[in-house]
Structure 1
Amino acid sequence: MLTRATTLCAIFASLAFNVQAKQTVTVTGSTSVSHVVEVLAENYSNAHQETFIAVQGVGSSAGIAAIKKEAADIGMSSRYLNADEINPDVTTVTIAHDGIALVVNKDNPVSNLTREQVSKIYHGEINNWNQVGGPDLKMAVVSRENASGSRFSFEDFMGLTQQIAGQTVSDINPQVLVVNTNGMVKSLVSRNVHAIGYMSLGSVDDSVKALAFDGVPPTLENLESGKYKISRPFMMLFKEKKLKPSAKDFIQYVTSEDGQAIIDQRGYIAVHNQ
């Protein structure tokens, strides 16, 4: 006759076996891309109980480095790779396209900024909202950390870089406030009427106000038509020869009709629409 202790041991052993039996696929990189990949991972895991997709948003540069060092199965990037990051062993797959939206507090009456105004704001030449048609309030300018794909794409598009010793480096005002994620940008801007920042268009919600850029609102339709110009790719990276079957299957799911439908629903441009 089985004792209660024996039964409990058997249950715990079974649970431990089930956890160990699950295959784990590690996905790391861009915090912008992770926002939608977490949803894709949850849907995939619901249909594939034997696989656990572990998603970590740590920045595009970190995701690219992780793949080169084979520290993760799949990397995520919200920017194209630099020349010194390109490796013949690394394969890249574009899974979606996203816009970068300039965002301000909902109580800020400013609704549009030009390229010249944005450049001057991030260079520190414009520092009061009354210089762009707003109230007499000092600006609190927010940017992302150096490893961010959003920052790389934003600065590259806006011309906020300079060449030093053959390297492209940031040329923004060193006094801007730097934060680590889209969520932190959104939280800070939503609570501060002085603030302006930029973030993934797919992450914008009604807690902040997205500005038109050069007269064009940052909508999915304007992004898809090419009218809204501040855009960038969402990419997955991996080493084909090192890719385990479960990781390969997840990538195939992301680029399938089902995966792309989720990307559409989340406010991004799916690659099958291109």
Structure 2
Amino acid sequence: MSYSVSAAFKAGALALLTALPLSSTLAHNLEIHGSNTVGATLAPMLVTGHLEHIGSGAVKTDSTGVENEKILSIASEGGTVSVLVAAHGSSTGFRTLASGQAGIWASSRPVKPGEAQQVSAQADLTALESEHVIAIDGLAILVHPSNPVSKMSIQTLGQIYAGEIRNWSQLGGPDRDISLYARDDRSGTWDTFKSLVLGKTYTLDSGALRYESNDQLSDDVSRDPGGIGFSGLASVRNSKLLAISDGNAPALKPNQLTVASEDYPLSRRLFMYTMGNQTPEFARGLIEFALGTEGQALVAESGFISQNPIAVKPELDSSVPETFKRLTAEYQRLTVNFRFSEGRTKLDNKAQRDLLRVIDYLEQHGRSADDLLLIGFADAQSHELRAQMISELRALSVRKALHQTGLPRVAYTGYGQYMPVGGSGNQRNGRVEVWIRAR
């Protein structure tokens, strides 16, 4: 997954870009529209990194005069190469991609079935060549630094935002009214919160303050002792993070391991979508850079969670069975989980790329297949034996996929329906963890 640019490629890319006519309807070589979460900081950093590879000199950043828009450009012998990043919400990105104005749609939520259907004649936005997971984010639940409340369940959070719980004293905090801060309706962050927290049970209280910007929302919560809000993980700033629980699973704070593995119940994927085989060459290059090792290092620098695996020794609390502690005693955990598309054992688009990332990790650290252990898990089933079988089949499917990618004989086992990371029926419970022998 490493990324390098030869001199010949650099010259060819610049020649292609600068040969493009820039009419009044094509003012830039590439336009990226969509999510404020992606577009505020991450997308400009990725664009800058890519331009530095294919151009020469410094990348220049200008404003269009419209809030949440940036133009990034670099000079070349053939002229200026420029990229517009417009961060007005995930839904705006789909519309501009579908119309042909945007070459890349930045989104903090998956494409909706209705959106995919609208452009199905041109591209399959759910396919590997169109859907690109560029980072993992944790939906951060924020309160004022002085608030003594440190954790809550997703259900309690829903009740707060529906206005059913209106005072912090109901949650063990001070006798103070709760002030609600939320992203606006165009935001993918709002879509994620609405889906994961409110669902079909709750409706947002009409008194909530709405924001286009994650950073502004967080800043206002940090100044309001009664405030609670949600934002992308990169926008915590001076606010306090809460730990969140789902069902009977333990409450987790978003961090490198819990978010990268998507165990944190409000973790989410950040996407860039392109139009499959119709994707412009320059956009393809940017996507390749973003998904590679160097691009993922920029993801970490931006405050989001990189998909480059690292090994950590997780803290296993008293809820973890002794059998699991013995199983993993000589191992560390890689910050990657293999998850599945709808169905039992088909790896999803992110997992397909994570196969290569695991192999890259082994090569970079001088490790082999003998050092790995795959542990499969299942959601609760009608019978314990059925859950055990499903968990083993999931681990086996990852083992086979690694074998096909060039890594044979990886050890695997299943751990059934134990140690859920979500409530019963949550798809996140069906996963395969990757452990590596400690040195």
Q: Residue 31 in 1 paired to residue 40 in 2?
A: no
Aligned to 2:228: 196
- Asked whether the equivalents of residues 64 and 75 of structure 1 are also in contact (C-alpha less than 8 Å), the reply is yes
Cα 1:259–1:55 shift into 2, 3 Å = same
TM-score w.r.t. structure 1 length? 0.83
Considering Cα pairs closer than 8 Å and 6+ residues apart, tell me whether 1 or 2 has the greater RCO. Answer: 1
Shift of residue 241 of structure 1?
4.5
Aligned to 1:99: 138
Aligned to 2:258: 222
Shift of residue 272 of structure 1?
4.5
Q: Residue 187 in 1 paired to residue 187 in 2?
A: no
- Asked whether the equivalents of residues 136 and 304 of structure 2 are also in contact (C-alpha less than 8 Å), the reply is yes
- Asked whether the equivalents of residues 198 and 204 of structure 2 are also in contact (C-alpha less than 8 Å), the reply is no
**Match for 2:91: what amino acid?**
S
Cα 1:227–1:248 shift into 2, 3 Å = closer
C-alpha separation in 2, matches of 1:157 and 1:271: 22
Q: Residue 212 in 1 paired to residue 243 in 2?
A: yes
Shift of residue 101 of structure 1?
0.8
C-alpha separation in 2, matches of 1:217 and 1:260: 22
Shift of residue 23 of structure 1?
5.9
SS at match of 2:145: coil
- The alignment's C-alpha RMSD in Å is 2.2
1:172-203 per-position Cα deviation (integer Å, ceiling 9, x unaligned): 11221111120121121122111100011122
Cα 1:154–1:119 shift into 2, 3 Å = same
- Tell which deviates more after alignment, 233-242 or 64-73: 233-242
- Asked whether the equivalents of residues 94 and 271 of structure 1 are also in contact (C-alpha less than 8 Å), the reply is no
1:143-172 per-position Cα deviation (integer Å, ceiling 9, x unaligned): 11112111111111114336xxxxxxx821
SS at match of 2:230: strand
C-alpha separation in 1, matches of 2:179 and 2:204: 14
Residue identity (%): 27
Aligned to 1:232: 268
Cα 1:218–1:271 shift into 2, 3 Å = closer
Structure 1 segment 1-274 matched on structure 2, within 5 A: 24-34=29-39, 35-47=41-53, 48=55, 49=74, 50=76, 51-86=81-116, 87-88=119-120, 89=123, 90=125, 91-161=130-200, 171-205=203-237, 207-214=238-245, 215-273=251-309, 274=336
Aligned to 2:319: none
- Asked whether the equivalents of residues 260 and 307 of structure 2 are also in contact (C-alpha less than 8 Å), the reply is no
Cα 1:92–1:226 shift into 2, 3 Å = closer
C-alpha separation in 2, matches of 1:229 and 1:81: 20
C-alpha separation in 2, matches of 1:191 and 1:42: 33
Shift of residue 271 of structure 1?
3.7
- Tell which deviates more after alignment, 65-74 or 261-270: 261-270
**Match for 2:241: what amino acid?**
A
Shift of residue 107 of structure 1?
1.9
SS at match of 1:44: helix
- Asked whether the equivalents of residues 23 and 246 of structure 1 are also in contact (C-alpha less than 8 Å), the reply is no
More strand by share: 1
